[in-house]
Amino acid sequence: MTAQVNGARASTSQSGGGWRLRLSDFSDRHRSTTVIAGMALTGLLLPLVVLLPPFNGFSNQNVWLDGFTIAGIYVLLALGLNIVVGLSGLLDLGYAAFFAIGSYTFAFAASSFTGLNFPFWPMLLVGAITAAIFGILLGAPTLRLRGDYLAIVTLGFGEIVPIVILNSSKYTEGPNGIGGINPPELAGFVFPTVGNPWPFYIMMLALITICMILIYRLQDSRLGRSWMAIREDELAAAANGVNTVTTKLLAFALGASTAGLAGVFASSKLTLVSPNLFRFDVSFTVLAMVVLGGMGNIWGVAIGAFIVFLTQTVILKQLNVFFGNLGVPFLSDIDFLQYQFLLYGIALVAMMLLRPEGLFPSRRRRRELHTEEDVEFGEHGDPLGESPE
């Protein structure tokens, strides 16, 4: 382990320069501080950047911050899916189902529909735990088998959950969804759902920060190393004493619980849940975020999610406006939003074929995915960096 990290650092210093070495050294030793500092910086810069042209031309700061808050939900989802897909190498194609479970948990617990008013903060945990329970129920029979079965079972689960919600109108209001969900309240202060976007924005930043720290800690723990061992070679991991079923189940449940948490947040932010918020499109989008960002790399996945979300909500729309204004007959007729999922599909295939480690790869993942062809032999010594420094 140590040898590997040192080896990688040594090669960074040759290509990068002193400050990069020191920065990565610092962030390796003070993960939590780095995450907090990074998120605080992002949180401060984003509201300022949107005041500058051309961003201020699209919409005002409040609308932007609202958008960022929604983007944050996707960042949370991507972080959670990254545990399953990126760290453990299991394919979960029904991730939106857990998001739905979290959302509906809070919708049942605190809305005018049921008349219950459970407080928001403990419900964050309850939503996460509920989603995790469903994850365990689904994962327990499936994870004993080959990994591929998980993909198809989660695909089915993701399809079933909206159907069940849609068809049990007695309990879920069916396609109309549940409205009038309570916003969070902190020491008497009720979070405004319209008008002032700051409270939700700050809370989103805090949630992401906490989740990132927790996931980094998990990744560095014994459990995280077991996940990566399973991802790289399940048989070898089992031979080395990793209980593969329990470990995979934990990854799956923790991934689900992150989605549950995001669901509770989303339902209180939107004050409305309806089954069509949780279609397969959502699972697919989040998967695209994780793959694009770089499976296994926590920062990469968060940035990937943010970029994909912005592409979806801002860039494609602006392309429509731009070409609409330009008045080129052919281009202005194209609705770029229509091509969104086609683009994701192409992106997934292209990434897997050309750059499977993602746009922002984690070092380990990159090494793993380029085992045969182009790991640098030669001047940096052997590819695993085990040469003495």
Q: Which is nearer to another protein, 373 or 389 (CB)?
A: 373
The answer to whether 323 contacts another protein (rule: CB under 8 A) is no
Q: Which of 47, 46, 100 is nearest to 260 (CA)?
A: 100
Q: Which is nearer to another protein, 79 or 288 (CB)?
A: 288
The answer to whether 353 contacts another protein (rule: CB under 8 A) is yes
Q: How far apart are CA 161 and CA 24, in angstroms?
A: 42
Q: How many residues bind another protein (CB under 8 A)?
A: 52
Kindly tell me which residue out of 348, 355, 364, 383 binds another protein, with binding defined by CB under 8 A.
348
Q: Which residues contact 222 (CB under 8 A, 6 or more apart)?
A: none
Answer for the pair 47, 64: CB distance below 8 angstroms, yes or no: yes
Answer for the pair 208, 75: CB distance below 8 angstroms, yes or no: yes
Stretch that binds another protein, among 53-61, 164-172, 209-217, 378-386 (CB under 8 A): 164-172
Beta-strand relationship, 178-179 and 272-273: antiparallel
**DSSP assigned state of 181:** B
Kindly tell me which residue out of 37, 151, 270, 307 binds another protein, with binding defined by CB under 8 A.
151
Kindly tell me which residue out of 126, 287, 298, 305 binds another protein, with binding defined by CB under 8 A.
287
List Cα–Cα distances, 190 to 168, 201, 232, 234, in angstroms: 31, 14, 47, 48
Stretch that binds another protein, among 24-32, 126-134, 268-276, 283-291 (CB under 8 A): 283-291
The answer to whether 95 contacts another protein (rule: CB under 8 A) is no
Stretch that binds another protein, among 26-34, 63-71, 200-208, 226-234 (CB under 8 A): 226-234
Q: Which is nearer to another protein, 167 or 276 (CB)?
A: 167
Q: Which is nearer to another protein, 337 or 384 (CB)?
A: 337
List Cα–Cα distances, 130 to 133, 185, 263, 264, in angstroms: 5, 22, 11, 11
Q: How far apart are CA 269 and CA 110, in angstroms?
A: 13
Q: Which is nearer to another protein, 225 or 380 (CB)?
A: 225
Q: Which is nearer to another protein, 136 or 348 (CB)?
A: 348
Residues 34-93 that bind another protein (CB under 8 A): 85, 89, 91, 93
Q: How far apart are CA 380 and CA 387, in angstroms?
A: 8
Residues 114-143 that bind another protein (CB under 8 A): 138, 141-142
Token match 């808050």: residue? 69
Q: Which is nearer to another protein, 151 or 307 (CB)?
A: 151
The answer to whether 337 contacts another protein (rule: CB under 8 A) is no
Q: How far apart are CA 241 and CA 221, in angstroms?
A: 16
Tell me if residue 144 falls in helix, strand or coil. coil
Distance of CA 191 to the CA centre of its chain: 24
The answer to whether 336 contacts another protein (rule: CB under 8 A) is no
User: Can you name the residues that pair with 111 across neighbouring β-strands?
Assistant: 181
Q: How far apart are CA 329 and CA 315, in angstroms?
A: 20
Kindly tell me which residue out of 38, 147, 324, 381 binds another protein, with binding defined by CB under 8 A.
147
Site string for another protein, 238-277 (x = CB under 8 A): x-----x---------------------------------
The answer to whether 155 contacts another protein (rule: CB under 8 A) is yes
Strand segments, DSSP code E, in the chain are 178-179, 185-186, 189-190, 272-273
State in Å, rounded, how far the first CA of the chain is from the last one. 14
Kindly tell me which residue out of 28, 148, 220, 376 binds another protein, with binding defined by CB under 8 A.
148
The answer to whether 235 contacts another protein (rule: CB under 8 A) is yes
Distance of CA 182 to the CA centre of its chain: 25
- Output the smallest distance, CB 347 to another protein, in A: 8
Structure token digits, residue 358: 């993602």
Contact residues: another protein, CB under 8 A: 85, 89, 91, 93, 138, 141-142, 144-149, 151-153, 155-157, 159-160, 163-164, 166-167, 231, 233-235, 238, 244, 280, 284, 287, 291, 295, 338-339, 341-342, 344-349, 352-353, 356, 368-369, 372
